Structures are given as C-alpha cells and as structure tokens.
Structure 1
Amino acid sequence: MINKNIEQYRQQGILSEVAVASPYRLIQMLYEGALERIAVARGAMQAGNIAKKGEQIGKAIDIVESLRAALDHDIGGELSGQLDALYEYMAFRLLQANLHNEIEALDEVTRLLREIKAGWDAIPPEEQNPQLPVR
C-alpha cells in the first residue's frame, strides 16, 4: 500500500522528496496527504461533486491503511495496537462519510489525524531514528 501512495506522490511531482525521505518523514507525508485528500473530499461533498468526493475519500482510506500497515507491533507494543484500532476506525468513518455524505465524519477523522500528527511532529529530531524500517 505504501507503494501505491508513492505512485500518487510520483504523479504529483514530489517523488524526489519521497526517495530521500527518512521513515519518520514518510509517515509525516502520509499524514499530510490524508489530511489534504479529506479536505478536498469535504469541498467536493459540499459542491455536490460525487465522483471527486469518492475518489478523494478512497485515496484517504488508502493512506490510512498504509499508516496502519506501517505499524510495527513488535516495537510499538500497546501503542501500536491502539493506533491500529484507531486507524481501522478512521477508515470505517471515511467509508461512512462517502456512503452517507457525512461531513461530520470527515471532520472527526480530520481532528483525529491532526492530533496524531501533532504528536508525531513533536518527536525530537534525535529520537526520529532513521534506522527503523517502515514496513
């Protein structure tokens, strides 16, 4: 799934950043990409553009699933399990948003992603450990 998102970045002309990014930065980029796609989906939903809404929510779900697949349960322990459940919930809420045109569900997932991203962004550089593989 991460490869699928890398292809999306290639199409957007930012593959060079992906190619040299640390595992820490790659996860950061996934958060940014998910938030961007949800914002575009929200605008499309409000404009009644069903096709674009569905496309963007589908891409956001793919990114959330990529974040989920990147979790290392051996290293992450309980936190990894909690994030896994939260990502699963977010994917479910995005699906509901798409099926029922629920802006509230998009807003909820946006809020959750922003909270997680804020925690991720707060990791000090010396603890970002570029040696840890992204699975």
Structure 2
Amino acid sequence: MDFLTKEIIYQKSSQEITSLLYEALIDHTKGAIQDIEASRLIEANDKLKKVNDILERLGVGINYEAGIIAEQLDVLYNYMADLVIKANVKKDIEPLKEVLTILEDISGAWQTAMKNNKSSQIQQQLLRKTNAYERNVMVYEREPNTVEEGK
C-alpha cells in the first residue's frame, strides 16, 4: 500500500478505495497481532489506532439508502472497533483474531461484489450501445416524409 500516490488514489472509484481500506485494515490487524506476540506494545498500539481510524472512516462513508446491508455494516464496524479497543487495552490477540476473520469475510464479499458489478456495468454499456445502434437503424428505415421531399 505504500506505493500508492495521491494521483493513483484520485483515479480510483469509491468501491476500489473501500477495497484498499479493507486491505489496510487486514494488514494493520495482522501487524498488531505480530507486535503483541513480540511484546512490541507501542507499535501494536499505533497499528490498532490506525485500525480504529479506518473503521470510523468506513462507518462515516456508509450510504444508508442502500438498505439493511448498510445498517449491518455499521453494526459490524462498531463491533470490530469495540473489539480492537478491548484488545488494545488488554494487549490480547484473541479479539483481534475475531476482527481479522470478520474483515477477511467482508473483504472477500466486497471483492466478489465489485467483480459482479463490473460485469453488470459492461452488460449495461453493451445494451446502451445496442440501443443506440437500433435507434440509428430505425431512423434510416423510417418512411419518407412527403413534406421533406416537396410532394
């Protein structure tokens, strides 16, 4: 993730940015687990603060018009944030393992949804092009207008 520049990020869709945030969450959570196991508690604390920051930003970015899935994501983000805080206070990796499992599931589902959405968008573009073609064909095949021909 360090190789991403502002220009590259600005070119990403909101769905792709969300995917990158999930990757960052997974990376920081794994790193925090390793740091706690190695008794690098300050580094673990820094990573866990980043995890909570990203979870908060994801929660703020939820489109609640999307329905029940949006509400469920909000609940999951809050639940994971609570687990991260508990893990950070107690320096316990078990809650972080649970967070990691949830994150990997959400990230996998998000990737699948993005792939399905891309194929759906391609189909919609083809349909629009086909419709535009058919409209043009219909224009050329219409009955001649007697006013246009001067009759």
- What TM-score results when the alignment is normalised by the length of structure 1? 0.81
The 2-side partners of 1:84 and 1:56 are apart by: 21
Residue 110 of structure 1 is matched in structure 2 by: 100
User: Which residue of 92, 100, 108 maps to 2:82?
Assistant: 92
The one-character-per-residue Cα deviations of 1:58-99 (angstroms, maximum 9, x if unpaired) are 00111111111110002x111111110110000000011100
The 2-side partners of 1:113 and 1:13 are apart by: 22
Distance 1:127 1:61, change over 3 A: farther
Residue 67 of structure 1 is matched in structure 2 by: 58
Name the structure, 1 or 2, with higher relative contact order (CA <8 Å, separation 6+).
Answer: 1
Amino-acid identity (%): 26
- What TM-score results when the alignment is normalised by the length of structure 2? 0.73
The 2-side partners of 1:62 and 1:101 are apart by: 18
Residue 39 of structure 1 is matched in structure 2 by: 30
Considering only CA atoms, is the larger Rg found in Structure 1 or Structure 2?
Answer: 2
Residue 79 of structure 1 is matched in structure 2 by: 69
Q: How many residues align?
A: 117
**Structure 1 segments (4+ residues) deviating >6 Å:** none
5+ residue gaps, structure 1, are 1-8, 129-135
